[in-house]
Structure 1
Amino acid sequence: MSLIAYLKNKKLHILTLLGLAMLLTRGEHLLNSVSLPDASFALFLIGGMLIKKPRWFISLFVFSVVFDLITLSLSNHHHIPINLGYLGLLPSYGIMWFFGLSIANTRSFLKFAAFGVIATLIAFVISTQTYNLLSGNFPDITISESIQTGWEYLPQSFICTMSYLLAYWGIQSLFKRQFFSQKATAL
């Protein structure tokens, strides 16, 4: 791909912005001294809404894995769980992407919020349960204990994901209103 073609590729720009946001929010890592809450679930839903195709999902997922591996290799005090339980992120992020794809053309805030809530809850359950049951960190854990342990983290994960999604909705709504409305005035 030539540089000109690359610069004209809007979807590649969106993927780059999603990747940058992931870098800034992917838990405690080497790029910042203040840890921002993880935005990964929200970023995959937004990716599904904006860039849609499976190859972009795969690209963003591979980026997240590579980023985790680089962070782990550069710092031994970061504990990123790269094990069998980590595989739960693939269906979790896939759910977020699918729900984003399902609401890609919606103008309804209520539909956006409802799909965001449902997708976040499903993705959270999948990611926490696969980690608890498959990581090997809890060898004797039962399913009911795993569910109970997972619920302890739900409020924080849910609030952070929904906050990012609501911020996205607000920003894109303002942007559309300002720049794409027929009534928008010249700057």
Structure 2
Amino acid sequence: MDRRLSLTSPRFDLLAFALLAAVMLVTRTHSLSHVVHLPDTSLASFFVLGYLVRRVAAFAGLFALGFVIDVWRIYVLGGSGFCFTPAYWMLLPAYGTMWLAGRMVAERLGERLSALLPAAVVLLVATFVSNLFSSGGFYFLGGRYPDPTLAEFLPRLQKYFPGTLLATLLWSGVGAAAYIALLVARPELRRVSAR
């Protein structure tokens, strides 16, 4: 059995998944809030996962981790359950959008420097669509707002989307920088990759 690490190996997939899960665990639980408040990496984690790991099982695993974190925070740690409504399941298409966008960037744009700007545009559009699923789902399907209207939703979108976008761009940039650093440190990985 070949034990070398390559970008297409199950070992690399597992390592990438473990790192993204650890970062999501720290930021989604806000376990370092007493030291520093780190923005949630969930959207960026799914985008980077889509870029690095093509297996649907990885997507399902990261979604399950997010669900377990949320249940733990609400029912064990006593956090707010305000956002935990039947609309929670709108996170499936929200996170799926990010994961598929990451896959699209990997498959169609690759690792060229010229791909950075188009990848950023895909990331921006995917984040907006994802936010429509998650925030729109919560607002229109969550049952927290009587008689929800588009006129009331748009100001909420305008208020909360910039922070979501900034966090997603920040964490995706960190992921891209780590990936580039890996390729610089281990250039043989690039040659093994079938992107």
Q: TM-score, normalised by structure 2?
A: 0.81
Matched with 2:173 is 166
CA distance in 2, matches of 1:68, 1:156: 20
Q: What SS does structure 1 have at the residue aligned with 2:106?
A: coil
Q: Is the CA contact 1:27–1:36 (under 8 Å) kept in the aligned structure 2?
A: no
Matched with 1:49 is 51
Task: Label 1:27 to 1:70 Cα distance change in 2 as closer, same or farther (>3 A).
Answer: closer
CA distance in 1, matches of 2:56, 2:13: 12
What is the one-letter code of the residue matched to 1:129? G
CA distance in 2, matches of 1:78, 1:35: 17
What is the one-letter code of the residue matched to 1:71? R
Matched with 2:20 is 18
Identity of aligned residues (%): 26
Task: Count residues in correspondence.
Answer: 174
Q: Is the CA contact 1:133–1:141 (under 8 Å) kept in the aligned structure 2?
A: yes
Q: Is the CA contact 1:129–1:147 (under 8 Å) kept in the aligned structure 2?
A: no
Matched with 2:192 is none
2:129 to 96, 111, 122: 122
Deviations for 1:118-164, whole angstroms, at most 9, x for unmatched residues? Answer: 11111111111001111111122212211221221011111111111
Q: Is 1:139 paired with 2:157? A: no
C-alpha displacement of 1:44: 0.2
C-alpha displacement of 1:181: 6.3
Q: Is the CA contact 2:47–2:102 (under 8 Å) kept in the aligned structure 1?
A: yes
Q: TM-score, normalised by structure 1?
A: 0.85
Backbone CA RMSD of aligned residues:
2.0
What is the one-letter code of the residue matched to 2:144? N
CA distance in 2, matches of 1:177, 1:98: 26
Deviations for 1:1-37, whole angstroms, at most 9, x for unmatched residues? Answer: xxxxxxx733222211111010111154x56423310
Structure scoring higher RCO (CA < 8 A, sep ≥ 6) equals: 2
Q: Structure 2 stretches of 5 or more lacking a match? A: 1-9, 190-195
Matched with 1:104 is 106
